[in-house]
Amino acid sequence: MISNERHSLSSIIGDDLLRNAKLPLLLTVLVLVSAIAVVLSSHRTRLLTAEREQLILEREALEIEWRNLILEENALADHSRIERLANEKLQMQHVAPEQEQIVIQK
């Protein structure tokens, strides 16, 4: 019997895959899903690495600022210490600006 029915090639391939090749089709789908997962994972890793580098740079900047603040505090504390020693040991007093002008004019 000769049949004049025409079937498209894609429907024949699809029917053959669903009937005879279920395991290879399932494995193909699993490989594709796995490949997409690897790509997404590596992309996420690159984003996290870039974020980590940015945070490290920010931490270093904050550490530098912290060291500068400690140096500034120490420098200001030295002036306070010197002023305190001058008051206590040498009985020196801080001159107000109006008294300073009087002293200069005399």
Distance CA 33, CA 16 (A): 23
Average pLDDT over residues 70-82: 80
Q: How many CB atoms lie within 10 A of CB 86?
A: 13
8 A C-beta contact, residue 61 and residue 50: no
Average pLDDT over residues 90-101: 70
The angle subtended at Cα 59 by Cα 53 and Cα 64, nearest 5°, is 130
To the nearest whole number, what is the mean pLDDT of the chain? 85
What's the first-to-final CA gap in the chain, in angstroms? 135
DSSP structure class, residue 92: -
**pLDDT tens, position by position, 3-54:** 667 778 888 888 888 888 888 888 999 999 999 999 999 999 999 999 999 9
